[in-house]
């Protein structure tokens, strides 16, 4: 009964209006090559649901479905550009539709100088989407045509960012300030144990080698146990140098993650290796993950511990 009443309430017009009033939409648009794709990835890291070039008639439906989902989606980033046949250079229909639903709607416009756009297209070896429509078919003419088509959108935008002089990391920081709600995106840290005899993880950003510690494999009463069990972890952590090593690694990880945040990186994998990935690496990975989580500096890191080779022997 309780669940039915809750669902009916959530589906009522009044409840729907309340949900929509808590929804935010950012329309990401601007010149081709100015950084829309980068902006979309940053917003996704900040927790926004990103949709690319939706037909206008589906945008309101998407917001309605997201607001009534469980859990509800309350932040949408909609990427719109001249590649879409639905985009005429006039966003007023979309913004008016969303605001009529009670949704907070903002427009982000990205631009850059012609010289920088030409250089970026040269690096990417792509044609400008309006290049073939221009009189002489040149890249410069395509950029000029796009500027004209988007001039009204730029004028009406809530935020215009010129990426001419910005690095990717500087653009990250500007977007975090504007759309992060005052909180930088959390860095997701994975601590992964592994066995060197099975190979070093290819996606590791930092590799720690704990083979200097005595191997519980050679102690008969510990051999069949794993580093997740107290009897093994206590043995490993009580060995000379183990605690000092653990805290040194914690400090090194802290220095690295702080630098990653400054560079706009949001994912890091620390691989902890021993011979077979069963005892020492597992115990140290568990202890390191617990230490990082318990000594959080308020940056809301998401820490998870995984064991790649446990049970493989």
If one compares 62 and 264, the residue with the highest pLDDT of the two is 62
65 pLDDT higher than 80: yes
User: How confident is the model over 235-262, as pLDDT tens digits?
Assistant: 999 999 999 999 999 999 999 988 887 7
Q: Give the residue carrying structure tokens 């669902």.
A: 7
Q: Which residue has the tokens 């003419």?
A: 141
Contact indicator for 77, 36 with CB cutoff of 8 Å? no
Residue 70, number of CB atoms within 10 A of its CB: 7
The two tokens of residue 108 are: 């982000």
Among residues of the chain, what percentage have pLDDT more than 70?
85
Residue 39 lies in a domain: yes
First to last CA, the chain: 51
How much is the mean pLDDT over the chain? 84
Establish if 244 belongs to a structural domain: yes
Domain tally, the chain: 2
Q: Residue 89: which pLDDT band, with cuts at 50, 70 and 90? A: low
pLDDT, residue 76, reads: 94
CATH number at residue 143: 3.40.50.300
Q: Classify residue 229: in a domain, yes or no.
A: yes
- Are 36 and 171 contained in the same domain? yes
| 167 and 244 assigned to the same domain | no
Whether residue 206 is predicted with pLDDT greater than 90 in this model: the reply is yes
- Sorted by sequence, the CB contacts under 8 Å of residue 244 that are 6+ apart come out as none
Asked if the bond preceding 71 is cis, omega within 30° of 0, the reply is: yes
- Residue 88 is part of which domain span? 2-179
SS3 annotation, 242-305? HHHHHHHHHHHHHHHHHHHHHCCCCEEEEEEEECCCCCHHHHHHHHHHHHHHHCCCCCCCEEEE
Asked if residue 280 belongs to a domain, the reply is yes
Residue 25 in any domain: the answer is: yes
Interval 104-109 mean pLDDT: 92
The reply to whether 57 falls in a domain is: yes
Q: Please write the tens of the pLDDT for every residue from 117-170.
A: 999 888 777 788 787 776 677 888 889 988 988 888 898 899 999 999 988 888
Q: Do residues 120 and 196 both lie within one domain?
A: no
Q: Tell me which of 124, 154, 179 is where a domain ends.
A: 179
Same domain flag for 143 and 229: no
Q: Are 170 and 35 in contact (CB under 8 A)?
A: no
Determine the 3-state secondary structure of 185 from DSSP.
coil
The pLDDT assigned to 14 comes to 46
Instruction: Provide the pLDDT confidence category of residue 280 given band limits of 50, 70 and 90.
Output: very high
Q: Structure pTM? A: 0.62
d(CA 246, CA 268): 18
How many Å apart are CA 277 and CA 209, to the nearest integer?
11
Look at 70-79, 190-199, 215-224 and tell me which has the smallest mean pLDDT.
70-79
**Does residue 313 lie in a domain region?**
no
Distance, in Å, from the CA atom of 181 to the CA atom of 16, rounded to the nearest integer, reads 24
Residues 109 and 224 in one domain: no
The pair of structure tokens assigned to 255 is: 């220095």
Segment 199-204 mean pLDDT: 92
């Amino acid at each position: 009964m309780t669940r039915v009443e809750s669902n009916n309430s959530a589906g009522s017009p009044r409840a729907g209006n309340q949900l929509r009033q808590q929804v935010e939409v950012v329309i990401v648009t601007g010149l081709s090559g100015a950084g829309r794709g980068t902006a979309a990835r940053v917003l996704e890291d900040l927790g926004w649901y990103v949709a690319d070039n939706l037909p206008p008639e589906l945008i309101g439906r998407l917001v309605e479905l997201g607001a009534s989902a469980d859990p509800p989606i309350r932040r949408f980033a909609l990427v719109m550009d001249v590649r879409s046949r639905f985009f005429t250079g006039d966003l007023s229909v979309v913004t008016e539709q969303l605001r009529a639903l009670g949704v907070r709607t903002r427009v982000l416009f990205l631009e850059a100088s012609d010289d920088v756009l030409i250089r970026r297209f040269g690096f990417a070896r792509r044609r400008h989407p309006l290049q073939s429509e221009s009189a002489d078919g040149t890249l410069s003419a395509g950029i000029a045509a796009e500027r004209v088509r988007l001039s009204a959108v730029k004028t009406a935008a809530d935020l215009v960012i010129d990426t001419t002089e910005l690095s990717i990391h500087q653009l990250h920081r500007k977007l975090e300030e504007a759309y992060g709600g005052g909180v930088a995106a959390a860095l997701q840290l994975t601590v992964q144990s592994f066995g060197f005899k099975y190979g070093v993880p290819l996606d590791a950003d930092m590799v720690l080698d704990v083979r200097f510690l005595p191997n519980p494999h050679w102690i008969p009463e510990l051999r069949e146990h794993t580093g997740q069990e107290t009897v093994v972890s206590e043995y490993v952590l009580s060995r000379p140098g183990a605690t000092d090593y653990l805290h040194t690694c914690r400090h090194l990880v802290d220095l690295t993650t702080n630098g990653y945040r400054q560079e706009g990186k949001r994912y890091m994998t620390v691989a902890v290796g021993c011979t077979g990935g069963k005892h020492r690496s597992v115990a140290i990975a568990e202890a390191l993950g617990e230490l990082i989580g318990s000594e959080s500096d308020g940056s809301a890191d998401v820490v998870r511990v995984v064991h790649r080779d446990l049970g493989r022997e």
